[in-house]
Amino acid sequence: MDDGPAGAPLRLEAWAKVNLTLHVTGRRADGYHELDSLVVFAGVGDTLEIAPGEDLSLSLDGPFAGALGAPESNLVLRAAAALRSRHGPTLGSRLRLTKRLPVASGIGGGSSDAAAALRGLNEFWRLGVSLADLSALGVALGADVPVCLAARPSFMGGIGDAIEPAPALPPVWLVLVNPGVPLATPAVFQARGGPFSAPFRWRDPIGNALALAERLKAGRNDLEAPATALAPAIGDVLAALRATPQCLLARMSGSGATCFGLYGDREEARAAAAQVAELDRRWWVSAAPVVDG
């Protein structure tokens, strides 16, 4: 650890995590499900600001701040406290989270926020903690935190702790749509039936958006059907995305209720987002590119 003063104020983007595929491959003796997923990140998300402070504090703002609980229970503050407890018990900072992603929506907003806190405070406090050690802290906060720490297209396995870089993917755009229906992940897993799935991976790079969509069609999201049974609005969102011109694939992300449409370029994605947004003004709709890092 560097014993010098904390660094200059930082501003970090906590990108939306999108599961392009999600296969449930088994269940461990402790009750946790094992997954296999291709995860990417869309260039829309929350913003975390870190500034000097005597103790740890968190303030919340943004369009979805009201859907969060008290700051003391937020994953950002829990991540900061875990890092401080392990590596610098006298350190402090003022944290500010601007919440732009819908809550409990299957795009890893809380996990991405926690990952941003771990990455940012590691730099801000000049701790020099390795990514592996940050991931070990992160998985105790949530299964998606390690992949959000990587913040690049990755295959995710196990309970979220086994991360492998994905082969090269082409530039693509996503339209994310959430119908405003929060879904509890345990309820979706409980509603899931049927056999477990095999992992779905590949190692060769994919050259264009159409080829990526065709490859993804050989996989699925095993939670889409049970989530739709619990929240039928997911079916409405998927139908709306599939009705847009140039939509190459429409699928639910994570445990829902956010769904994504896959498009080849910005113009197609923005036109689709505008079309979908006209159908129901209560839906959250955003067009964004897939980002790396």
pLDDT of residue 111: 96
**How many degrees, rounded to 5, is the angle at CA 286 between CA 284 and CA 251?**
85
Residue 2 pLDDT greater than 70, yes or no: no
| CATH, range 173-291 | 3.30.70.890
pLDDT at 192: 96
Confidence at residue 91, expressed as pLDDT on a 0 to 100 scale? 94
Residue 161: predicted pLDDT: 87
Burial class (CB within 10 angstroms; exposed 0-12, middle 13-18, buried 19+) of 95: buried
* List 17, 36, 113, 222, catalytic entry: 17
**Mean local confidence (pLDDT), 177-197:** 94
Q: What is the pLDDT of residues 110-168, one digit of tens each?
A: 999 999 999 999 999 999 999 999 999 999 999 899 999 999 999 999 998 899 999 99
Q: How confident is the model at residue 1 (pLDDT cuts 50, 70, 90)?
A: very low
| Over residues 11-39, mean pLDDT | 96
Structural domain spans, the chain: 10-165, 173-291
Backbone angles phi, psi at 287, to 5 degrees: -105, 135
10-165 topology per CATH: Ribosomal Protein S5; domain 2 (3.30.230)
Torsion of CA 186, 18, 15, 182, to 10 degrees: -40
Phi, psi dihedral angles at 195 (to 5 degrees): -75, 165
Q: Strands 93-98, 56-61: parallel, antiparallel or unpaired by DSSP? A: parallel
- Annotation marks residue 144 as catalytic: yes
- Which one is catalytic: 36, 113, 144, 222? 144
- Which tokens belong to 207? 């050259």
Question: Rounded to an integer, what distance in angstroms lies between the CA atom of residue 115 and that of residue 216?
Answer: 27
Is pLDDT of 4 > 60? no
Supply the pLDDT for residue 5.
55
Listed in sequence order, the residues at least 6 apart from 195 whose beta carbon sits closer than 8 Å to its beta carbon are none
Domains 10-165 and 173-291 belong to one CATH topology: no
Supply the mean pLDDT for the chain: 95
